[in-house]
Copies of this chain bind each other. A is one copy, B any other.
Amino acid sequence: MNLDQKHSGKLFILSGPSGAGKGTICKRLLEETELELSISMTTRAPREGEIHGQHYYFVDEEEFVKRIEADGFLEHAQVYGRRYGTPKEPVIEKLEKGIDVILEIDIQGALKVKENYPDGVFVFILPPSMSELRKRLTGRGTETAEAIEMRLGETLKELSFIEKYDYCVVNGELEEAVARVKSIVVAEHSRVTMTAEELVRRYKEDE
Contact = CB atoms under 8 A, between A and B. Distances in A.
Interface string A179-207: 11011101110111011110110011011
A70 interface: no
Q: 8 tightest A-B contacts by CB?
A: A187-B187, A183-B186, A183-B183, A160-B196, A130-B207, A167-B190, A129-B206, A184-B187
Count identical subunits in the complex: 2
Interface of A: 1, 3-5, 124, 126, 128-131, 152, 155-156, 159-163, 165-170, 179-180, 182-184, 186-188, 190-192, 194-197, 199-200, 203-204, 206-207
Given A1-B129, A167-B190, A170-B3, A156 B196 contact: no
A190 B184 contact: yes
B182 A166 contact: no
A190 B168 contact: yes
A17 to B, nearest CB: 10
Contacts of A4: 170
A4 B126 CA distance: 11
Given A166-B191, A167-B191, A169-B190, A199 B5 contact: no
Contacts of A126: 3
Given A180-B190, A183-B182, A191-B166, A159 B129 contact: no
A32 to B, nearest CB: 14
Nearest to A133: B203
A170 B5 contact: yes
12 contacts: A1-B128, A3-B129, A124-B192, A160-B196, A163-B192, A168-B190, A168-B194, A180-B190, A182-B183, A184-B186, A184-B190, A187-B187
A158 to B, nearest CB: 10
A18 to B, nearest CB: 14
Contacts of A160: 196-197, 199-200
A113 B7 CA distance: 30
